[in-house]
Amino acid sequence: MFAIIKSGGKQYSVKPGDTLKVDSINAEQDSVIEIKDVLAVSENGQLNLGAPFVEGAVVKAKIVEHSKGDKILVFKRKRRKDYKKRYGHRSALTSIKIEDINVG
Protein backbone atom coordinates (compact mmCIF):
# COMPACT_ATOMS: atom_id res chain seq x y z
CA MET A 1 0.00 0.00 0.00
CA PHE A 2 1.25 3.46 -0.85
CA ALA A 3 -0.15 6.96 -1.21
CA ILE A 4 0.83 10.15 -2.98
CA ILE A 5 0.42 13.16 -0.70
CA LYS A 6 0.81 16.89 -1.18
CA SER A 7 2.68 18.92 1.44
CA GLY A 8 4.17 22.38 1.05
CA GLY A 9 3.45 22.53 -2.67
CA LYS A 10 5.38 19.30 -3.35
CA GLN A 11 4.21 15.74 -3.91
CA TYR A 12 5.61 12.72 -2.07
CA SER A 13 5.07 8.99 -2.54
CA VAL A 14 4.82 7.42 0.93
CA LYS A 15 4.36 3.99 2.52
CA PRO A 16 3.75 3.17 6.19
CA GLY A 17 7.06 3.33 8.05
CA ASP A 18 8.68 5.87 5.69
CA THR A 19 10.53 8.88 7.10
CA LEU A 20 10.84 12.00 5.00
CA LYS A 21 11.70 15.68 5.28
CA VAL A 22 9.04 18.16 4.21
CA ASP A 23 8.71 21.94 4.44
CA SER A 24 8.11 23.21 7.95
CA ILE A 25 4.85 22.11 9.60
CA ASN A 26 3.55 24.16 12.51
CA ALA A 27 3.04 21.42 15.14
CA GLU A 28 4.79 20.14 18.25
CA GLN A 29 7.44 17.43 18.15
CA ASP A 30 6.12 13.86 18.78
CA SER A 31 2.57 14.91 17.88
CA VAL A 32 0.50 13.04 15.30
CA ILE A 33 -0.85 14.99 12.33
CA GLU A 34 -3.36 14.05 9.66
CA ILE A 35 -2.58 14.87 6.04
CA LYS A 36 -5.83 15.09 4.08
CA ASP A 37 -4.29 16.21 0.79
CA VAL A 38 -4.05 12.68 -0.64
CA LEU A 39 -3.78 12.67 -4.45
CA ALA A 40 -3.74 8.89 -5.01
CA VAL A 41 -3.91 5.66 -3.00
CA SER A 42 -2.87 2.17 -4.08
CA GLU A 43 -4.46 -0.65 -2.10
CA ASN A 44 -4.28 -4.36 -3.01
CA GLY A 45 -3.07 -3.50 -6.52
CA GLN A 46 -6.04 -1.14 -7.01
CA LEU A 47 -5.11 2.48 -7.80
CA ASN A 48 -7.57 5.12 -6.60
CA LEU A 49 -6.96 8.56 -8.11
CA GLY A 50 -8.47 11.74 -6.76
CA ALA A 51 -9.83 14.73 -8.61
CA PRO A 52 -7.89 16.52 -7.12
CA PHE A 53 -7.98 14.66 -3.76
CA VAL A 54 -9.22 11.19 -2.78
CA GLU A 55 -12.33 11.64 -0.63
CA GLY A 56 -12.06 10.18 2.87
CA ALA A 57 -8.37 9.28 2.51
CA VAL A 58 -6.14 10.36 5.40
CA VAL A 59 -2.44 9.78 6.03
CA LYS A 60 -1.38 9.85 9.69
CA ALA A 61 2.18 10.95 10.39
CA LYS A 62 4.22 11.56 13.53
CA ILE A 63 6.51 14.58 13.72
CA VAL A 64 10.02 13.36 14.50
CA GLU A 65 11.99 16.64 14.56
CA HIS A 66 12.29 20.18 13.29
CA SER A 67 15.55 21.17 11.60
CA LYS A 68 17.14 23.39 8.98
CA GLY A 69 18.33 22.33 5.55
CA ASP A 70 21.69 22.98 3.95
CA LYS A 71 22.69 26.58 3.26
CA ILE A 72 22.00 27.64 -0.31
CA LEU A 73 24.27 30.40 -1.60
CA VAL A 74 23.19 32.68 -4.44
CA PHE A 75 25.77 34.82 -6.22
CA LYS A 76 24.79 37.45 -8.79
CA ARG A 77 27.26 39.26 -11.01
CA LYS A 78 27.15 41.51 -14.05
CA ARG A 79 30.22 41.65 -16.20
CA ARG A 80 32.04 44.95 -16.69
CA LYS A 81 29.64 46.74 -14.28
CA ASP A 82 31.39 46.08 -10.94
CA TYR A 83 28.15 44.56 -9.62
CA LYS A 84 28.32 41.59 -7.26
CA LYS A 85 25.73 40.39 -4.77
CA ARG A 86 25.83 37.33 -2.54
CA TYR A 87 23.08 36.03 -0.31
CA GLY A 88 21.68 32.73 0.86
CA HIS A 89 19.13 30.98 3.02
CA ARG A 90 18.44 27.81 4.97
CA SER A 91 15.01 26.24 4.64
CA ALA A 92 13.11 25.17 7.74
CA LEU A 93 12.32 21.45 7.50
CA THR A 94 10.24 18.96 9.47
CA SER A 95 10.99 15.22 9.58
CA ILE A 96 7.84 13.10 9.64
CA LYS A 97 7.32 9.36 9.95
CA ILE A 98 4.31 7.88 8.15
CA GLU A 99 2.33 5.70 10.55
CA ASP A 100 -0.89 4.78 8.75
CA ILE A 101 -2.80 5.25 5.50
CA ASN A 102 -6.60 5.18 5.79
CA VAL A 103 -8.64 5.03 2.61
CA GLY A 104 -11.96 5.62 4.37
Where does the pLDDT of residue 71 fall: very low under 50, low under 70, confident under 90, or very high at 90 and above?
very high
Instruction: State the average pLDDT over residues 79-92.
Output: 97
Question: What pairs with residue 86 in β-bridges?
Answer: 75
| Domains of the chain, residue spans | 2-102
> What pLDDT does residue 13 have?
96
pLDDT higher than 90, residue 102: yes
> What pLDDT does residue 104 have?
78
- 78 Cβ neighbours under 8 A, 6+ residues apart: none
- Chain centroid to Cα 104, Å, comes to 22
Q: Residue 10: helix, strand or coil by DSSP?
A: strand
Residues in the chain: 104
Look up the pTM and report it: 0.83
pLDDT higher than 90, residue 7: yes
User: Tens digits of per-residue pLDDT, 28-66?
Assistant: 999 999 999 999 999 888 999 989 999 999 999 999 999
**Contact between 12 and 22 (Cβ < 8 Å):** yes
